[in-house]
Amino acid sequence: MPAIQSYDEQELLLRMRQGDESAFTHIYSLHWELLYAIAYNRTKDIHLSQDIVQDVFTSLWSNRNRAEVHSLKSYLATAVKYMTLTHLRKSGQTILVEGHIGSEEAGHKTVEEQIDYKNLLSFLNDETDKLPDKCRLIFKYSRGEGLSVKEIASELNISPRTVETQLSKALRVLRKSLKVMFSWVF
């Protein structure tokens, strides 16, 4: 059996999914410093940063059979970002900035909230674009343009029931995608 260091990322993930603690330990040793640096850069707190990294790796191990990981480094960095936000929100610590980034909302928003909002919109747009053509069009008419079921039915010359069915389908698919995306955070 080859040494654990000779495995590539996907092999390490596979072995970890199979319960191989040495693969998990190797993943931890490869990435903990970067993750700690990301957490510390946001929190400026040594102990909180250590806790965040520990929580991310605990979550990774606990969800090893459910997590869909394509790039381990990106997955873990994103997990640290969200875990950091969760910890900061729970403790009431946030960094406020005045104004807004690319939105018409007034008031104070944290940089993290603004970035999260933009990332969430981008994710939802990508997922919406994957919907079947008719389903996507109906969803965009409804949510993007604010048309009612009757207006959409009239516009597309289809029954209101078809519009409702397609909207339900779109929402079900998008909810499922969001659930998968955020399953490891909580």
Sequence-distant (6+) residues with CB within 8 A of 51 are: 87
The confidence score (pLDDT) of residue 93 equals 53
DSSP 146-161: ---HHHHHHHHT--HH
Name the pLDDT band for 94 (thresholds 50, 70, 90).
very low
Element containing residue 176 per DSSP (H, E): helix 160-182
Sequence-distant (6+) residues with CB within 8 A of 68 are: 180
Taking only the tens place, the pLDDT of each residue in 50-90 is 999 998 888 888 888 877 777 788 888 888 888 888 777 77
Distance CA 85, CA 39 (A): 10
In order of their start, the domains of the chain are 4-91 (1.10.1740.10), 130-182 (1.10.10.10)
Average pLDDT of the segment spanning 102-112: 48
Average pLDDT of the segment spanning 30-56: 89
Q: Show contacts of 163-167: CB within 8 Å, 24+ apart.
A: 163/138, 166/134, 166/135, 166/138, 166/139, 167/138, 167/139, 167/142
Residue 18 to residues 22, 46, 129, 177, 183, Cα–Cα distance (Å):
11, 33, 34, 25, 20
The confidence score (pLDDT) of residue 159 equals 94
Structure tokens of 116? 């999260």
pTM for the model = 0.48
Average pLDDT of the segment spanning 171-181: 81
Task: Tell me the longest C-alpha to C-alpha distance in the chain.
Answer: 65
The whole-chain average pLDDT of the chain stands at 79
Percent of the chain with pLDDT over 70: 77
Average pLDDT of the segment spanning 95-105: 37
The confidence score (pLDDT) of residue 110 equals 63
The confidence score (pLDDT) of residue 161 equals 95
Percent of the chain with pLDDT over 90: 16
